[in-house]
């Protein structure tokens, strides 16, 4: 039996997913807006099956909510979402670092140092896209060593929710400079073999909403006022 159509449908679903994610990242599809399945399927020239499958994936990642009668609403990012995501990412990255520590070699830490230096250079050049790329790579150095692909996938999805919805043009330079300093403190702890302190630093400083709140509110102006 020829299974080629099944493979084509799967590939098409991934293409539709990537298209919708890119539209969200660029701000073409905004939080709080609705996605018309009929209109979107016609625009893309695809049936509703790959579109529905792509939307189901986006729903599992908390980007959209699928309502009855084919209504799809794009979820806004709330202050509580950000608080929750910071808590989850901090806990998971802390755990990942502890799991990865014994398997990390000096050249891994050296690579983290080079990435952090590259982040500092990107800031000096006001190149936020490069900074963002190097920042993800920095964290992935220990995430990829933790041996838990499900953990890594969840962390990366939450980071997309935080920073790619849509990607804010420009950045809060003081925050990014502070983040580079926090990275350096982490590197120093790793070089000293202080794994638990390094893990605590990731959770209780780098991904602490309380510690980062002032910067967070500047990066997300829509949540500058505390919740009632």
| Domain spans, the chain | 4-74, 79-223
Residue 158: what pLDDT? 94
pLDDT score for 6: 47
pLDDT more than 70, % of the chain:
91
The predicted pLDDT at position 10 comes to: 61
Candidates 138, 42, 131, 222; CA nearest to 51 is 42
What CA–CA distances, in Å, run from 87 to 14, 17, 197, 210, 212?
30, 27, 17, 10, 12
Mean pLDDT across the chain: 90
Tokens (6 digits) for 133: 């790329």
Q: Which CATH class is domain 79-223?
A: mainly alpha
User: Which of 23-37, 62-76, 193-207 has the largest mean confidence?
Assistant: 193-207
Q: What is the CATH number of domain 4-74?
A: 1.10.10.10
DSSP bridge partners of 74: 64
The answer for residues whose C-beta is within 8 angstroms of residue 38's C-beta and 6 or more apart is 48, 70
Q: What is the pLDDT of residue 1?
A: 45
Dist CA 105 CA 108 (whole Å): 5
Global pTM reads 0.85
């Amino acid at each position: 039996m020829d299974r080629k159509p099944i493979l084509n449908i799967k590939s098409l679903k991934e293409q539709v997913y990537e298209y919708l994610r890119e539209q969200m990242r660029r701000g073409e599809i905004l939080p709080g807006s609705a996605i018309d399945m009929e209109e979107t399927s016609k625009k893309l020239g695809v049936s509703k099956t790959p579109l529905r499958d792509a939307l189901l994936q986006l729903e599992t990642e908390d980007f959209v909510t699928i309502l009855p009668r084919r209504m799809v609403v794009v979820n806004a990012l709330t202050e509580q979402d950000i608080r929750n995501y910071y808590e989850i990412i901090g806990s998971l990255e802390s755990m990942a670092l502890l799991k990865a520590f014994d398997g990390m070699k000096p050249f891994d830490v050296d690579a983290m140092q080079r990435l952090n230096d590259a982040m500092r250079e990107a800031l000096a050049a006001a190149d936020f896209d490069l900074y963002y790329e190097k920042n993800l790579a920095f964290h992935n150095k220990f995430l990829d060593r933790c041996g838990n692909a499900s953990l890594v996938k969840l962390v990366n999805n939450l980071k997309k929710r935080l920073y790619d919805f849509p990607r804010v043009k420009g950045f809060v330079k003081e925050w990014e400079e502070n983040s580079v300093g926090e990275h350096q403190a982490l590197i120093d702890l790793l070089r000293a073999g202080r794994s638990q302190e390094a893990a605590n630093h990731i959770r209780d400083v780098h991904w602490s909403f309380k510690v980062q709140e002032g910067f967070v509110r500047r990066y997300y102006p829509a949540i500058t006022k505390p919740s009632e």
